[in-house]
């Protein structure tokens, strides 16, 4: 079809095609989508973030302090808040991570000048001023329009310490702790929708056996109460237990088997899973810049293992919880590359390329396909650490390719999964063979159909011919994220190397046609 033929054809939507790089001849892939077929809700909490007290994730990345020359609101940098608001971040996990099991909340409340300096022993033994504590975190979450996912310290804390932190944050009645919170500037009880009970308790969180952790879990789950009157009944805080960090299922077996017979005195609503994409194994050695198609393919192949991992853990959960009451919460995931040369290796600083953006889309699509069980996920991490949304350097800020994927996926938050049938074949690079395409479709509350297509092939564009049934689509529009090379990155000097551009979509009757460029993520909306 030519532009001219479309122009004279009624009921056709035309948008400008943007191509970021020369492409070799396109092949055609056929997709079919029945928009009336509804699957599970793609919970908005799948698009959660993780902000640990690690490197420059919090300090400098979020918190610059009220006296900083960097524009801020009560110490939280304004540029970062504006950028994050656009992502509609559903929840932010804090304070850890490994750091969570060494965090003692009392050190992070009260007048800033009186807060003690402590060591961040998990991450480089640097001085922690504790200037970013409970109040600052809750303020940050409120400024970006998100919700709190607080991890309590099981490794080096106590049930009493956790119970008191919860009371400090959530008691509405005038208890001594609620009065202390009011004296510190927040009379109203905070809302804590999600509570993580420990972190990687099989590793940095105390090197516990599954049975030992289970006995801790029962205690913490019982005593860490949320007293906020608005969070009782159906709005109650969801408790998330530590889950596995390997494909092994022993940990999941132990927790879920016990949960099946739990009584009134303890409960969990979620089981966590941690899994990073580390293509060459530990310690992470893949470069985050300056790599080619072979490294790219290897990373994508490695990341697709997430699907098998979820299946494996879900099969155990299904055995003990066929009604899927307990969510699988992938609260740490993402690409973990080698630390950038010249940075503190404990700060986990890496660049973020087009490869990472495509890797993010593949994982988000996997989560969406498992949405009946996987109802929350947190990419690691939000700013300046691992697969970040944002990089900062003093007053400078740059949005990463992964940031743009999250922005393009906003319409999928709380949308209803719609199955897509497609087979676009594979592409091979050296010893790695990958599906050429991945796709996700969903319907939002207004009836719009959203279609995401990832073209993994680094060389070939793809013509898409999609048959849409189950709705009458009147117009189509969208945008695509790609760049000159798989390792293209955004830098402070060139912040727009990888940014979404409008894409051309043709719609005739129930047929959507478009061309997606090589190594690209494209999102199209179809208006009913």
At closest approach, how far in Å is the CB of 324 from ligand AHR? 25
Complex with ligand AHR: residue 52 or 356, whichever CB lies closer:
52
Identify the active-site residue in 60, 167, 200, 479. 200
Complex with ligand AHR: residue 332 or 479, whichever CB lies closer:
332
How, if at all, do strands 520-527 and 76-77 pair? Answer: unpaired
| CA–CA gap between residue 274 and residue 283 (Å, rounded) | 16
Is residue 386 within 8 Å of 334, Cβ to Cβ? yes
Closest C-alpha to 456, from 499, 488, 426: 426
Q: Which stretch binds ligand AHR (CB under 6 A): 93-101, 224-232, 366-374, 441-449?
A: 93-101
Residues in the chain: 528
Q: Which stretch binds ligand AHR (CB under 6 A): 92-100, 112-120, 154-162, 445-453?
A: 92-100
Is residue 171 within 8 Å of 230, Cβ to Cβ? no
Q: Which of 42, 98, 358, 512 forms a contact with ligand AHR (CB under 6 A)? A: 98
Residue 332 appears among annotated catalytic residues:
yes
Is residue 208 within 8 Å of 255, Cβ to Cβ? no
How, if at all, do strands 460-469 and 511-516 pair? Answer: antiparallel
Give the three-class secondary structure for 518. Answer: coil
Complex with ligand AHR: residue 200 or 227, whichever CB lies closer:
200
At closest approach, how far in Å is the CB of 334 from ligand AHR? 8
Closest C-alpha to 309, from 251, 254, 247, 355: 247
At closest approach, how far in Å is the CB of 380 from ligand AHR? 4
At closest approach, how far in Å is the CB of 326 from ligand AHR? 20
Complex with ligand AHR: residue 276 or 504, whichever CB lies closer:
276
250-263 burial code (b ≥16 CB/10 A, e <16): ebbbbbbebbeeee
At closest approach, how far in Å is the CB of 220 from ligand AHR? 17
When asked if residue 153 is in the footprint of ligand AHR (CB under 6 A), the reply is no
Complex with ligand AHR: residue 198 or 411, whichever CB lies closer:
198
When asked if residue 96 is in the footprint of ligand AHR (CB under 6 A), the reply is yes
x/- site string to ligand AHR, residues 384 to 413, per CB under 6 A? Answer: --x---------------------------
Closest C-alpha to 413, from 76, 142, 91: 91
Q: Which of 48, 57, 95, 97 forms a contact with ligand AHR (CB under 6 A)? A: 97
Complex with ligand AHR: residue 97 or 435, whichever CB lies closer:
97
At closest approach, how far in Å is the CB of 257 from ligand AHR? 24
Q: Which stretch binds ligand AHR (CB under 6 A): 28-36, 90-98, 209-217, 311-319?
A: 90-98
Q: Which of 53, 199, 252, 350 forms a contact with ligand AHR (CB under 6 A)? A: 199
x/- site string to ligand AHR, residues 101 to 140, per CB under 6 A? Answer: ----------------------------------------
Residue list 51-80, contact with ligand AHR (CB under 6 A): 52
When asked if residue 269 is in the footprint of ligand AHR (CB under 6 A), the reply is no
Identify the active-site residue in 102, 136, 314, 332. 332
Maximum Cα interatomic distance, the chain, rounded to a whole number of Å = 74
Residue 37 CA to its chain's centroid (Å): 26
Tokens read off for 311: 């299946």
At closest approach, how far in Å is the CB of 66 from ligand AHR? 28
| CA–CA gap between residue 122 and residue 140 (Å, rounded) | 23
Q: Which stretch binds ligand AHR (CB under 6 A): 41-49, 167-175, 379-387, 415-423?
A: 379-387
Q: What is the DSSP letter of 380?
A: E
Cβ-based neighbours of 37, under 8 Å, separated by 6 or more: 418, 419, 470
At closest approach, how far in Å is the CB of 386 from ligand AHR? 6
Residue nearest to ligand AHR (CB): 97
Full strand arrangement of the beta sheet holding 449-455: 416-418, 437-443, 449-455, 520-527, 475-481, 501-503
At closest approach, how far in Å is the CB of 50 from ligand AHR? 7
Q: Which of 200, 295, 452, 457 forms a contact with ligand AHR (CB under 6 A)? A: 200
Tokens read off for 438: 């991945």
Three-state secondary structure readout of 438-468: EEEEEECCCCCEEEEEEECCCCEEEEEEEEE
Distances in whole angstroms, Cα of residue 411 to Cα of each of 44, 179, 280, 329, 417: 9, 41, 34, 21, 12
Complex with ligand AHR: residue 374 or 386, whichever CB lies closer:
386
At closest approach, how far in Å is the CB of 200 from ligand AHR? 5
Kindly determine how many residues on this chain lie close enough to bind ligand AHR according to the rule CB under 6 A.
10
Give the three-class secondary structure for 507. Answer: strand
Complex with ligand AHR: residue 365 or 381, whichever CB lies closer:
381
Residue 214 CA to its chain's centroid (Å): 27
When asked if residue 198 is in the footprint of ligand AHR (CB under 6 A), the reply is no
Q: At what angle do helices 354-369 and 293-303 cross, to 10 degrees?
A: 20
Residue list 316-345, contact with ligand AHR (CB under 6 A): 332
| CA–CA gap between residue 217 and residue 522 (Å, rounded) | 42
Tokens read off for 117: 């300096």
Residues marked as catalytic: 200, 332
Q: Which residues bind ligand AHR (CB under 6 A)?
A: 52, 96-98, 199-200, 332, 380-381, 386
């Amino acid at each position: 079809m030519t532009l001219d033929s479309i122009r004279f054809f009624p009921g056709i939507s035309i948008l400008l095609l943007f191509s970021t790089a020369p492409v070799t001849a396109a092949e055609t892939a056929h997709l079919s989508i029945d928009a009336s077929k509804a699957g599970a809700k793609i919970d908005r909490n799948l698009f959660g973030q993780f902000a640990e007290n690690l490197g420059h994730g919090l300090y400098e990345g979020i918190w610059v302090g009220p006296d900083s020359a960097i524009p801020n609101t009560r110490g939280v940098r304004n540029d970062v808040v504006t950028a994050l608001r656009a992502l509609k971040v559903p929840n932010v996990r804090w304070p850890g991570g490994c750091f969570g099991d060494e965090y003692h909340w009392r050190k992070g409340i009260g007048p800033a000048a009186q807060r003690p300096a402590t060591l961040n022993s998990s991450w480089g033994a640097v001085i922690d001023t504790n200037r970013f504590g409970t109040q600052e975190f809750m303020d940050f979450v409120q400024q970006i329009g998100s919700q709190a996912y607080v991890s309590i310290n099981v490794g080096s804390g106590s049930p009493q310490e956790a119970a008191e932190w919860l009371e400090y944050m959530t008691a509405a009645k005038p208890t001594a702790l609620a009065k202390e919170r009011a004296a510190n500037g927040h009379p109203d009880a905070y809302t804590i929708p999600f509570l993580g009970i420990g972190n990687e308790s099989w590793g940095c969180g105390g090197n516990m056996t599954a049975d030992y952790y289970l006995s801790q879990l029962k205690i913490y789950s019982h005593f860490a109460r949320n007293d906020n009157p608005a969070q009782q009944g159906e709005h109650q805080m969801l408790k998330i237990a530590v889950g596995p960090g390997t494909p092994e299922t022993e940990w999941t077996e132990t927790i879920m088997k016990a949960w099946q017979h739990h009584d009134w005195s303890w409960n969990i609503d979620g089981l966590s899973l941690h899994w990073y994409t580390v293509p060459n194994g530990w310690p992470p050695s893949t470069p985050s810049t300056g790599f080619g198609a072979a490294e790219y393919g290897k990373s994508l192949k490695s990341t697709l293992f997430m699907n098998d991992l979820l299946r494996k853990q879900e099969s155990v959960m299904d055995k003990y919880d066929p009604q899927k009451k307990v969510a699988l919460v992938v609260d740490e995931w993402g690409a973990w590359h080698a630390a950038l040369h010249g940075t503190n290796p404990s700060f986990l600083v890496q660049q973020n390329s087009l490869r990472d953006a495509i890797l993010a889309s593949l994982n988000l699509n996997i989560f969406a396909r498992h949405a009946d069980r996987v109802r929350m996920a947190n990419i690691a991490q939000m700013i300046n650490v691992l697969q970040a949304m944002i990089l900062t350097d003093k007053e400078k800020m740059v949005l990463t390719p992964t940031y743009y994927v999250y922005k393009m996926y906003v319409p999928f938050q709380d949308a209803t999964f719609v199955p897509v049938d497609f087979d676009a074949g594979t592409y091979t690079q050296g010893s790695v063979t990958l599906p050429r395409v991945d796709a996700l479709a969903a319907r939002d509350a207004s009836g719009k159909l959203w279609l995401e297509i990832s073209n993994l092939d680094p060389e070939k564009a793809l013509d898409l011919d999609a048959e849409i049934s189950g709705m009458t689509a009147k117009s189509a529009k969208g945008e695509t994220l790609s760049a000159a090379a798989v390792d293209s990155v955004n830098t402070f000097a060139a912040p727009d190397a990888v940014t979404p551009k409008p894409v051309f979509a043709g719609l005739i009757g129930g047929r959507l046609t478009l061309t997606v460029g090589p190594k690209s993520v494209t999102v199209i909306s179809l208006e009913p």
